[in-house]
Structures are given as C-alpha cells and as structure tokens.
Amino acid sequence: MLIRLLYTLLMLIASPFLLFGLYKSKPGKPTFGKRWREHFGITPKLEDGRPVIWLHAVSVGESIAAIPVLKALYQQYPNYQLLVTTTTSTGAAQMAKHSDWLSHRYMPIDLPICLNRFIRTIKPHCLLIMETELWPNTLACAKQADLPIAVINARLSARSAKRYGQVPWAFNQIGSRIDRLFCVANDDAQRFAQLGISPETLTVTGSIKNDIQISTHVIEQAKLLRQQLGEQRSVWVAASTHKGEDEQVLAAFAILLKQLPDSLLILVPRHPERFDAMAQLCVDSGFSMQRRSQGFDASQPCQVYLADTMGEMLIMLDASDAVFMGGSLIGDTVGGHNMLEPAALAKATITGPSYYNFSDIAEQLIKAQGLWVCQDSQQLAEQMAQLLQDQDLRRQVGQAALKVVQQNQGAVAKTVQGLTPWLTAKSE
C-alpha cells in the first residue's frame, strides 16, 4: 500500500510534464481538441446498454495490432460492445477508422481519482491490455472494481526482465493483479514465470501479428503507388526509422545509388512529428525528394519518397521490392520493430543487429533464411544491392519469411478462446 501511495505521489508530480509532452503540437500529429478531459477520467457515457469489453492500446502500433482480436470478439460475442482506449491522438485516429463497430475513449492518466471516475462511467466487464502497457494504478483500480484483467500479445525482453528483477517488489505490485497473460513466445512466458507470475496465469498463443490479413484495399493501393513510382526501377523501403538511424539509411542509399542509380527509397519515419525534419534532412543530404502527403509528380525527379502519412505502412511495404526494418541500427535504445508485416507480404527483409524486442520471431526468420542482419550502413547497402539485383534470391528470402508467418498463425483464435470463460456467461 505504501509503495502504491509513493508511486501515486510521483505520478501526481510528473503528470503535468507528461501531459505537456502529450498535448504539445507537432507536425502531422492530430490534436486532442476538447477531448483532453478524457485523460482526467471525464469521459462520455456509452449509450448502448450491452456489457463492455475494454481494451487498452497505448498508441498506433498497438491499435493496429489489436484489430484482429477486436474483430474476432465483435463476431463471436455480439452481446458485448467494444471500447478501445488509447493514450495518444495518433492511436485515436486509427480507431476512428472502425467507429461503425467500436467506440473510442482516451485513457485516463494513471491516478486513482481519474481511473475510478472512468470505470464508474463506463462500467466495463473486463480489461484487456495490449502487450505490456502495465500501469500500477490502472491495474489496482480495475482489480478493486472486480474486473478480470488479461494482457494479450504479451512480450517481455530479457533486458526488461532483468530490470524488473532488480525491483521485484515493484513487479509484484503489477503481476499479482493480472489474471491471464497471453504470451507471444515461450521465452516471454519463462521470463514472466521467473519474475513470479503463476504458471496457471500464463498461456503461449504466439503473436497476433502473425494473423495479419492483407486487405484488397492495401493490395490495390500498393499496386497504384508502384505504378506511380516506376515499375521498372528498384524500390526499397526503410520502415519505422528513428532519429540517428535515418542518417545511416541515407548513407547506405548513397552507396547503393552507385550500383543502382535509378533506385528509389521509400522512407517511413516512426514518429509523425519528425516528418518535416526528415524532409529537410533528405534535401540537405542531396537527394531529390517528394512527400506522399503532397501527391506524386512523375515529371519531377524523386530518389526518396517520404511516407509522411499515418496508417499506410502495409501499402509502402507492398509497393517495395525489399525492406529494411528500423529501430535496429541505433544501439540498444529501441530494440527493433516487428518484421511480421513484411514477412506476411513475402518481402525480403533486413534488420540491424539490435532486435531484442522481437528476438523470438527474428531468430525464427533468420534460421529459415527469411531475414538478414546487417551491422552498419555499409553492410546494409551491400545486402540491399544484392537483393535488389537478384529477383530469384529476393523471392526465395521473401517466401521463406512468409512460411514462418503461416506456421505461427492462430494466435487470435487462441487468445479469444482463452477469454471465453469471462465472456460466455453474459453473452448467453
């Protein structure tokens, strides 16, 4: 109790700074408008009288990943209504695309007064948390309200497990309140168990991102984009890049252009607030550049196509010949990003050496020769040139990656099945 009280006091002090960063206007970032009140638990009621499944997905990546599970719940449990909370406005923008069958609210900050107000208003039946967005007061207030709590697509890297292990009393405050953990891999489950989570709580489902389904809309838009960019030229995408990594990608591209002078790079920065800075960096680095938000002009030169829009990653990936997955060339600060989307599209993919956040799937892909690892910009240029110049090799690597994805599918069904005991009684 004392630990939670101290944590709450720290959150109270830190909240103004956290909210300032959240509300700060940035290029390409949707505004919160009058909905800022929702972060304080002042949230509109749900008019529908059905019981509520509450799922929290902090931002864009988690929101997109949650959609297959939400769709499965929507189809199998029509007597429930679905409410998704996100912390960010970019996550809210993703949920707005599905407003015909689910509702969205902003997540209250992790203070009991805000959370209790939210729970009293919404009256959820259970709480599902995407990945490991675990806030002590959120879990405590949900448990006080007698809500079953499950973490889906749960991941725990060796690095994070080591940190939690150094403060076991803090992890106990979190872990003791979780009823079910649906883990991505055996390694994740073992790390949670080592931290004291009961084995009965743990289920290995695989990653729900393996169950990705590519819509006809994505395929059609990707085909159109590729026609605009040039079907005969070599096109590669650097996906989810970070500050300090973009320079390395552009350096690799400069080397690559010596071998493939007509090649094109689709650059997809991870964070929308960096779009303008990235556009300037491309120009300062001497590349001709066009921005997706401004349309594509085939009459103008374009070496770098800056994907400065949100929610179009699959289109960019499918329009390319090969992929570099970012967050992996800047030391251990990020730990890589998910390789499953390009793998599901059968795209030959390269990652940098730091991919600890996705070590399980990365190792499977590497073993199957469906993922290559580069150490620096020079090797990235060499490997990308090899892939772009050899269509058969590119197809072989992509098909190997796709096979790994197909072998690991079924996580959505396993997750929904695991939730059945909580949902069946009210759905009958």
The kind and range of the H/E element at 268 are: strand 264-269
C-alpha Rg value of the chain to the nearest Å: 22
Alpha carbons 60 and 23: distance in angstroms, whole number: 16
Angle, in degrees to the nearest 10, between helices 168-175 and 2-23: 80
Contact 408, 207 (CB under 8 A): yes
Q: Is position 62 annotated as part of the catalytic site?
A: yes
- Identify whether the C-beta of residue 292 lies closer than 8 Å to the C-beta of residue 228: no
DSSP H or E stretch at residue 237: strand 235-241
Exactly one of 62, 131, 245, 341 is catalytic; which is it? 62
Contact (Cβ atoms closer than 8 angstroms) between residue 39 and residue 109:
yes
Beta bridge partners of 130: 152
Interatomic CA distance for residues 428 and 425, integer angstroms: 6
Strands 304-306 and 322-325: unpaired
- Rounded-to-5 percentages of helix, strand, coil across the chain: 50, 15, 35
Place of tokens 């697509």: 153
**HSE (side-chain half, CA atoms, 13 Å) at 103:** 19
| Residue 329 CB burial class (10 angstroms; 0-12, 13-18, ≥19) | buried
Token duo for residue 220: 């059609």
> Is 203:178 a contact under the CB 8 Å cutoff?
no
Whether residue 183 contacts residue 361, with contact meaning beta carbons closer than 8 Å, is answered with no
Adjacent-strand bridge partners of 54: 83, 127
d(CA 201, CA 184): 14
∠ Cα 230 251 380 (to 5°):
80
Q: Which residues are catalytic?
A: 62
